[in-house]
Amino acid sequence: MSLEKNQPSATTESSTLSHSANPGIQLETFYYDNKTVKLFAYATLFWGLVGMTAGLWAAFSIAYPQVNLGWAPTTFGRMRPVHTNAVIFAFVGNAIFCGVYYSLQRLCKARMWSDRLSKIHFWGWQALILLGAITLWAGFTQGKEYAELEWPLDIALTLLWVVFGANMLGTILKRRVQHLYVAIWFYIGTWVAVAMLHIVNSIAIPTSFLNSYSWYAGVQDALVQWWYGHNAVAFFLTTPFLGLMYYFVPKAANRPIYSYRWSIIHFWSLIFIYIWAGPHHLLYTALPEWAQGLGTVFSIMLIAPSWGGMLNGLLTLRGAWDRVREDATLKFMVVALTCYGMATFEGPMLSLKSVNAISHYTDWTIAHVHVGALGWNGFLAFAMLYWMMPKIFNTKLYSKKWANTHFWLGTLGIIFYVIPLYTAALTQSLMWKKFTPEGILQYQFMETVTTIQPMYVLRGIGGLLYISGLILMIVNLVKTVRSGKLVANEESQAAPLPKNYESHGKKEHWHRWIERRPVQLTVLSLIAVGIGGIAEMVPTFLVKSNIPTISSVKPYTPLELHGRNIYIREGCYTCHSQMIRPFRDEVARYGEYSKAGEFVYDHPFQWGSKRTGPDLARIGGKYPDSWHYNHMLDPTSMTSGSLMPSYPWLFTDRIDKTKTYSMIKAMKKLGVPYPAGYENEANKDIDKQAEKIKQSLAKDKIKVSKNDEIVALIAYLQRMGTDIKNEKKEGSALK
């Protein structure tokens, strides 16, 4: 504060140049906007409950398939994207905005730049979430994890992100504190990175209002997706929360951050390293080895900044540990930081190829991400709300005892969630890899699932504990809010910053306006340049793809394409992978390992990341059509004990052949070599191929209409992974 006293200051923000010589300190009075903070806090609680309940539903539907209800919106494949999107963008998203709107105003000693933008940002974001949930339940999805929202919503998200950025940067520009506290750096870093990731990964060709195909195919799509997917964790779940940590932990502990210097190093090293770690999600896949290595190396390096940050937070509590015993807010923070530390140690370990060989496709990944989500994001958000809500309502927390109970329910919830999943993961992975002395696989896939099924039940109980804690918190905060009154506009005073442009001492020139708004203009122009640049670069680089091609790999037939749309719509990728890694057990179980060239027409790729069910990369031709027919109608009829939901609507809903034209047209635009004018002929081929499947089913005494969706799905399933077999035949025929 003493620094500012020596500086000349202007009376008001609108003061003219002539005031520059005015001596003395004139404090400005201004008001913090607590109303928007309150709204974001309410939204955090509401969507937290919705998103976690969807997660609980999904968890129990794996343990007990009846929970899927035989109704499309409640099946795991649709519930899971609703859960992940709601928890990431709705719960954590609103918590970020809540914390940023609270702390940024106080760190800048300024009200948010524009009340109108705050309003648009808040209501726009809630509308986006609501539409997102509805469309995902209805089956409109781009089929890429955490990026499922269809293109109109992707565009809306981009615009809302710009609104948030403009409001944030506007506030930073009119700040009354010269120094940008480290939390603000984390907020800015978040904004820049998320904007880029979202735009690059979401580029797609629309085929209709709520359907589109990813611009990238196969290996390339996988690389872009996990570059995005990993950084969604990095820049949506981590950097903004670190910013919040750097504000709320010192405030709640009433102690300055342990080392401010560390925090600066933490920020810059973290953002520079994080962006490269994505390929560790694709170890042992068809992604080129050097790219996998790059991802691993950067992932290992991430331990340093991550742990630096964690220790900086924990050491801030030095000398305050006696208070941690009493204060639920601090307890939540300690566990949040500990979970951050555990997750950021585990992450690099899982990026080691030898560990990943065991952990990938198992529940280990799910446990890992929930240590982060429940522990780090959840607990830090709870701590923030417990600390902040009484403040903006000018009252005290209704019940400290309840907050402590919440802490224990949450902590036990996390433990009961993750330990069963770690056990399940190791057990299942080792069973998958086990051979008998005679050299054949010891366990059927189904046996490995039945073994870990009790763990899924325990995991659900952990989730239930965690949610009951959240409900207790909501009740506690409602009672707190009722006992106080919102200070919608909180008065504060500070001296303004000296205006830099006064030192020029020249008359006002048109260019001055730009000089005073450099950041806004830089950012806006960067967005413009970025979008333009990407739009130009993408076609240039992608039309001629240079993945090693396999001559026998041909584009999907239109019927298979319809089937693939159904596969994507039902979220099959949430439980089934399409990527056989080059391991003895996987080749023995699923067939020849997957090659990069097999996926050149896969817009989007559907490699998946989890094997709740078996890999499907070479499912084609493995079973007769009638097997698939019966299996989709009632999985347990073909596989006793199966946890897969049944899909009765596929047997009554019809293939929408009016969409064929735009589907083929879009694929052609993406470089898929269909013959000229094929979009007009495609429906004839659908009839021919569907007729064949109808005949083959008739042989097994099954009657279908050839326009039933199940026919298209069977066509796709029977095609999967078969092209490469044709190559061998071609090869042997030549001999």
Partner 1 sequence: MSVMLILLGASLVVSLIFLAAFIWSVKDGQYDDDYTPAHQIFFEETQNSK
List residues binding partner 1 (CB under 8 A).
1, 3, 32, 106-107, 177, 179-182, 185, 188-189, 192-193, 196, 200, 216, 219-221, 223-224, 227, 247, 250-251, 254, 256-257, 260-261, 264, 268, 271-272, 275-276, 288, 291, 391, 394, 487, 490-494, 526, 530, 533-534, 537-538, 541-542, 544-547
DSSP state letter for 236: I
Supply the minimum distance, in Å, between the C-beta of residue 13 and partner 1. Answer: 18
User: Least CB distance from residue 375 to partner 1, whole Å?
Assistant: 25
Q: Is the CB of 1 or the CB of 21 nearer to partner 1?
A: 1
Contact between 422 and 355 under an 8 Å Cβ cutoff? The reply is: no
CA 327 to chain CA centroid, Å, is 32
By C-beta, is 131 or 304 nearer to partner 1?
Answer: 304
CA–CA dist 232, 62 (Å, integer): 25
State the Cα–Cα distance between residues 226 and 229, nearest whole angstrom: 4
Task: Provide the minimum distance between the beta carbon of 444 and partner 1 in the complex, in angstroms, as a whole number.
Answer: 37
The CB-of-271 to partner 1 minimum distance in angstroms stands at 6
Of 35 and 370, which CB lies nearer to partner 1 in the complex structure?
35
Decide whether 310 or 367 has the Cβ nearer to partner 1: 310
Look-up of token digits 């701590």: 383
Tell me the closest approach of the beta carbon of residue 568 to partner 1, in angstroms. Answer: 20
Q: Is the peptide bond before 604 cis (omega within 30 degrees of 0)?
A: yes
Smallest gap from residue 373 Cβ to partner 1 (A): 25
3-state secondary structure of 33: strand
Strand boundaries in 366-513, DSSP class E: 489-494
> From its phi and psi, is residue 621 left (phi > 0), alpha (psi between -120 and 50) or beta?
left
Least Å from the CB of residue 498 to partner 1: 14
Question: Given the complex with partner 1, which of 369 and 526 has the nearer CB atom?
Answer: 526
Q: Please identify, using beta-carbon distances, which residue of 319 and 533 lies nearer to partner 1.
A: 533
Q: Which is nearer to partner 1, 19 or 251 (CB)?
A: 251
Phi, psi at residue 28, to the nearest 5°?
-95, 145
Give min distance, CB of 706 to partner 1, in A. 38
- Closest CB to partner 1 among 175 and 569? 175
CB of 56 to partner 1, least distance (A): 36
Tell me the three state secondary structure of residue 342.
Answer: helix
Q: Which of 251, 253, 246, 247 is nearest to 267 (CA)?
A: 246
CB of 720 to partner 1, least distance (A): 23
Of 526 and 704, which has the nearer Cβ to partner 1?
526
Task: State which residue, 221 or 708, has the beta carbon closest to partner 1.
Answer: 221
The Cβ of residue 323 has, within 10 Å, a number of other Cβ atoms equal to 16
Q: Which residues pair with 610 in a beta bridge?
A: 361
CA distance 11 to 495: 9
List C-alpha distances in Å: 525 to 114, 131, 473: 20, 30, 43
Residue (534 or 704) nearer to partner 1, CB: 534
Strand, helix or coil for residue 154: helix
Nearer to partner 1, 189 or 372 (CB): 189
**Cα 249-252-256 angle, rounded to 5 deg:** 60
Instruction: Compare residues 490 and 708 and give the one whose CB is closer to partner 1.
Output: 490
Shortest spacing between CB 546 and partner 1, in angstroms: 6
How near is the Cβ of 288 to partner 1 at its closest, in Å?
A: 6
Please identify which residue in the block is written with the tokens 């020596």: 6
CA dihedral 32, 35, 41, 42 (to 10 degrees): 170
CA distances from 512 to 320, 504, 505, 517 (A): 49, 10, 12, 9
From the list 382, 316, 313, 377, the residue with the least C-alpha distance to 343 is: 377
Q: Name which of 199 and 655 has its Cβ closer to partner 1.
A: 199
Q: Which secondary-structure segment (H or E) carries 32? A: strand 28-33
How far is Cα 390 from Cα 472, in angstroms, rounded to an integer? Answer: 16
Angle CA(138)–CA(142)–CA(143) in degrees, nearest 5?
90
What lies within 8 Å, CB to CB, of 674 at 6+ separation is 555, 664, 667, 668, 682
- CB of 217 vs partner 1, minimal distance in Å: 9
Residue whose CB is less far from partner 1, 295 or 571: 295
Cross-strand bridge partners of residue 28:
494
- Residue 208's alpha-carbon distances to 140, 663, 670, in angstroms, are 11, 9, 15
Q: Are 443 and 434 in contact (CB under 8 A)?
A: yes
The Cα–Cα gap between 482 and 140 comes to 40
Question: Alpha-carbon distance 43 to 40, whole Å?
Answer: 5
Nearer to partner 1, 301 or 633 (CB): 301
Q: d(Cα 352, Cα 298) in Å, to the nearest integer?
A: 11
CB of 296 to partner 1, least distance (A): 16
Provide the token pair at 87: 């928890």
Q: How far is the CB of 428 from partner 1 (least distance, A)?
A: 32
Q: Minimal distance in Å, beta carbon 35 to partner 1?
A: 15
Query: Angle of helix 76-85 relative to helix 34-63, nearest 10 degrees?
Result: 150
